[in-house]
Amino acid sequence: MPDRGGGPTGPRMRVGRPSRRARTLLMTLGVLAVLGMVFAMFAGFWTDWLWYRSVHYSSVFTTTLWTKIGLFFVFGLLMAAAVGLNIWLAHRLRPPLSAMSVEQQSLDRYRMSIAPYKKWLLSGITALVGLIAGASAASEWRTWLMWVNGVAFGKTDPQFHLDVSFYAFDLPWYRFLLGFGFAATVLSLIAAVLTHYLYGGLRVTSPGARATAAATGHLSVLLGVFVTLKAVAYWLDRYGLAVKSSDFKATGNWTGLRYVDANAYLPAKTILFCIAVICAVLFFATLWRRTWQLPVIGFGLMVLSAILIGGLYPAIVQKFQVEPNEQAKEAAYVQKNLEATREAYDIDDTKVTDYAGTSDTQDKAKLRDAAADAASYRLMDPNIVSPTFEQLQQVRNYYGFPSNLAVDRYKTKDGKVQDTVIGLRELNLAGIPKNNWINDHFRYTHGYGVVAAKGTEADEGRPVFTEYNLPSTGDLPRYEQRIYYGEKTSTYSIVGGPQKEIDYSDDTGEKTTSYKGNSGVSLANPLNRAAYAMAFNEPQILYSGAIGDGSRILYNRTPKQRVEAVAPWLTIDGVSYPAVVDGRVQWIVDAYTTTNGYPYSSRTTLGDTTLDSLTAANNQRVVAQQNQVNYIRNSVKATVDAYTGEVKLYQWDTQDPVLKTWMKAFPGTVEPKKDISPELLSHIRYPQDLFKVQRELLTRYHVTDAQTFLSGSEVWQIPNDPTNRSGDAVPPYYLSLKMPGESSQTFSLTTTMTPNGRDNLSAFMTVAADANTSDYGKISILKLPTGKTIDGPKRVQSQFNSEPSIAESIRLLKGGDSEVEYGNLLTVPLDGGLLYVEPVYLRGGGLKYPLLRKVLVTYGGNTAFEDTLDKALNKVFGTEGSATEPPGSGSGSDTGGGGTGSGEKNPPPSNNPTVQEALKDAQKAFEDGQTALKNGDWQAYGQAQKDLQDALKRAEDAQAQAEKPGAGGKNGDGKGGASPGASASPTPNSSPGGSPSGG
């Protein structure tokens, strides 16, 4: 090359092989990289095994693992053998001499280039297809276990009279085998064709025959196998018609045979099966007759038959026989679908009762008394009051409550059962003073205590706490308060070692503890530490001095995660809820067994069906293993101990064949129903997600007559939630109520339904949700007359908003920076009519949490918007009841205050004189503001709000000063400063600004 730089040119450097040292370094790095990848895979396997062993479900891990390994090797080897054998056979059958042509000369170069590597190439191809096939087969472990352990349903389909287990357990496995056979045959055929072409058995442009006799025979056999499998597919398709989904304009989503399926597709599949068998025989016959003439004719006949018999003929039947008289033709098949769907979703015993929708009773006093006893009106909406719980009972910033609290039942001191709103004070890492590895994983490890309030009462707008403060005290018996496992616990913690944990804080400072449970995995073993350091991508686990003897790592800590891990064959409910049971906090998790193979039962998508205005906001929808299901049972009730993380699965539905199948596959994992303790049974409730699935089906399947079903005149819909603008369905509500004809209230799950495309009410649906009652799971529907217009939820809400006096009151409440929040719109049957009750909350005036301020009530066209439920009922019925306060009548600003030593009121207020004086000023400012609102004096109202905020600021500053270590002053309990929960609810309770922050 020419000299371009002007400098001297030296001799050209030789590029030689790397030095020995460089080669050794590269080899060492390569070995280390391989060892690193191997250890990373081993770490994942080892930590999984350790976790399953720690929760005592190692049999689930081993059964699943060995099933996957077995399927991987069996089907991987079968696929590798099939493809490898056909490549070897095609090579063995190659012609000894190749025709002289340009095509063959080009192929000679390829043959010569791969000749030294033929064995390696064959091994590589077979290994690749074997790995892919094995991995695909391993993912079918559920299908295999269900097939090999299948239990009979004891019910047969109406068309083929086979047990339902054939469709649920057997048919999916047969379809997998058929798909595997097609894949193996097609891959073998492709490999054989390429090999024959490469070695001259097949020719495209060379003179002479296009294929040798050996190649013709080989490929004919493979094509014969393919057509044989197609014949098997036609035969299985006959049974598949019973579980086939299709669109049916009269009903929408449809599963099972219709008239055209039974009278056109079914005979067509049988005819095509026979044609495919004949065609396969013709292909096999080419072993003796070295010609493809007859097989090709037969294959063409099969394709033509598939078009004419399998496609055109059913279309003609549908067009000219079914559509002119659809109801008569389809009625028998619709009836089968009705019966199967109602059975598969456990709604076949639903009781539908006609309900007038209006009351004829003229005695208003009698109606008023009946209203007091009709329900325990839940004024504390668990989906709204979580911020109130947090502000009043959070105590420390590193605690938090879920956005949706739970509704449960607890006995009061007088032995009565009380509807209760309950939440756990769980750990919130976002609120700790300083985030670092030690704080996040060693110091702040758990939440502390239960907070509960009466669902039916309020005290100055606040919840009436029955369990409160830190440590929690109140009506509940003594229990282990530390919460190591919860819905908000999403990270791992290392406990039990030399590093102490923060337990809780009180007047004397922080209390520390060390975990004493046997949960988690020990990190005393260096191998375990290395594995978890790799699995969690955290090298400090390997060498940190905070880990020592007794250290254990806790992870997979949410209840749903733990249940799903130990029972991967279950579909987990979107919501778990806590309960105090036998001195422990237990998370109760509902779990379902499902299948999409129930013949004639219409399918539903659980993720869509369980969507409502609450789950959409909190991502709590149910997602099943299959995209769609057409059979579901709440067959398992699971518990997770909040302290030890222990998981227990209880058999709830003792008749469910799907659960029995899984219990055979995983023996010893599910405990019998009789092992459920009476106290646990008292907290078990009917699951919301199952209820939402059932109510969606009952919008169409509440009718039992095929003609009515086909007409579509009785189709209902789930109304949108009128209390927000999300456009999602109204959620069902737990409520203790008395249905018509019943003598006492029952803890129930309720919802409303409206006609399709309209806003008036068509039905009220409820299910007995108390597991202690014999009626548990019994669904009842009150069907409203179609000839009357009964207001539905949207109309009721519109009526509330459009009432001039109510609209003006709400406008005044929204004055300044206040915000009105509507609670659950409760519907209660009452003497032939429907009573609607809706709590109204106010958040504003510097307040960070909602307070119950008003109650909306409507009945028979009369509407009231009052401070308390009692007053609202009195106004609606025009008379006072015989009892001064019905259940759940407490509300806004006129109920008494007081302490909570008995669990009946809020926690005791602070006795700091400065705080007391400031709160008196706040009370006066609030009262002045209310007077100004009534008079429409906005200038006075603004001044009152300013005075209120100033007074609250003085109270907050004084309380903070009193809580400092060494601060003077004595509380009523004789202790210096404020008690842990004292600031959570100081007097006066009627102030809209409430107390200073409870934290």
145-177: pLDDT as tens digits: 999 999 999 999 999 999 999 999 999 999 999
* 98 in Cβ contact with 197 (< 8 Å): no
Which segments of 661-745 are extended strands (E)?
716-717, 733-737
pLDDT level of residue 20 (50, 70, 90 thresholds): confident
What strands, in cross-sheet order, belong to the sheet with 473-474? 406-411, 417-424, 450-459, 462-468, 473-474
**pLDDT at position 997:** 33
**pLDDT at position 885:** 46
> Rounded mean pLDDT of the chain?
83
pLDDT level of residue 674 (50, 70, 90 thresholds): very high
**pLDDT at position 107:** 64
pLDDT level of residue 959 (50, 70, 90 thresholds): low
The residue among 246, 229, 256 whose CA lies nearest residue 159 is 256
Question: What SS3 state is found at 482?
Answer: strand
Give the residue with greater pLDDT, 352 vs 197: 352
Task: Render pLDDT for 716-753 as a digit per residue (tens, 0 to 9).
Answer: 999 888 877 667 888 899 999 999 988 889 999 999 99
Give the residue with greater pLDDT, 858 vs 957: 858
Give the residue with greater pLDDT, 969 vs 654: 654
Paired residues of 578 in beta bridges = 587
Q: What tokens does 335 get? A: 């009836």
pLDDT level of residue 505 (50, 70, 90 thresholds): confident
Q: Please, which residues have CB within 8 angstroms of residue 969's CB and are 6 or more apart in sequence? A: 911, 912, 913, 962, 976, 977
What strands, in cross-sheet order, belong to the sheet with 521-522? 493-495, 552-554, 521-522
Task: Render pLDDT for 434-445 as a digit per residue (tens, 0 to 9).
Answer: 889 999 999 999
Asked if the model's pLDDT at residue 987 lies above 60, the reply is no
Question: What SS3 state is found at 473?
Answer: strand
Q: Measured on CA atoms in the order 515, 518, 519, 520, is the torsion positive or negative? A: positive
Report the share of the chain in percent with pLDDT over 70. Answer: 84
Q: What tokens does 919 get? A: 């709160």
854 CB neighbour count, 10 Å cutoff: 26
Q: What pTM was computed for the model?
A: 0.83
The residue among 184, 180, 183 whose CA lies nearest residue 172 is 180
Asked if the model's pLDDT at residue 541 lies above 80, the reply is yes
**pLDDT at position 969:** 39
Report the share of the chain in percent with pLDDT over 90. Answer: 45
**pLDDT at position 251:** 63
Paired residues of 482 in beta bridges = 448
The residue among 780, 804, 777, 998 whose CA lies nearest residue 906 is 998
* 527 in Cβ contact with 542 (< 8 Å): no
pLDDT level of residue 904 (50, 70, 90 thresholds): very low
pLDDT level of residue 808 (50, 70, 90 thresholds): confident
User: What's 933's DSSP letter?
Assistant: H
| Whole-number CA gyration radius for the chain | 36
Question: What would the DSSP string read from start to end of 224-268?
Answer: HHHHHHHHHHHHHHHHHGGG-EEEETTTEEEES--HHIIIIIHHH
Asked if the model's pLDDT at residue 913 lies above 90, the reply is no
Question: What SS3 state is found at 455?
Answer: strand
The average pLDDT across 316-338 equals 88
The average pLDDT across 919-944 equals 70
Give the residue with greater pLDDT, 980 vs 774: 774
- Of the candidate ranges 111-115, 129-133, 986-990, the one whose mean pLDDT is the lowest: 986-990
The average pLDDT across 809-813 equals 79
Question: What SS3 state is found at 518?
Answer: coil
Q: Give me the residue label for tokens 């009432």.
A: 803
Give the residue with greater pLDDT, 956 vs 161: 161
Asked if the model's pLDDT at residue 693 lies above 90, the reply is yes
Task: Render pLDDT for 367-417 as a digit per residue (tens, 0 to 9).
Answer: 888 888 899 998 999 988 888 998 888 888 889 898 889 999 998 877 788
Task: Render pLDDT for 444-482 as a digit per residue (tens, 0 to 9).
Answer: 999 999 999 999 888 888 899 999 988 888 888 899 999
For helices 102-114 and 171-198, give the axis angle rounded to 10 degrees.
110
The average pLDDT across 673-677 equals 94
Task: Render pLDDT for 257-316 as a digit per residue (tens, 0 to 9).
Answer: 999 999 999 999 999 999 999 999 988 888 777 677 777 888 888 888 888 888 888 889
Paired residues of 337 in beta bridges = none
**pLDDT at position 44:** 87
Question: What SS3 state is found at 754?
Answer: strand
**pLDDT at position 960:** 60
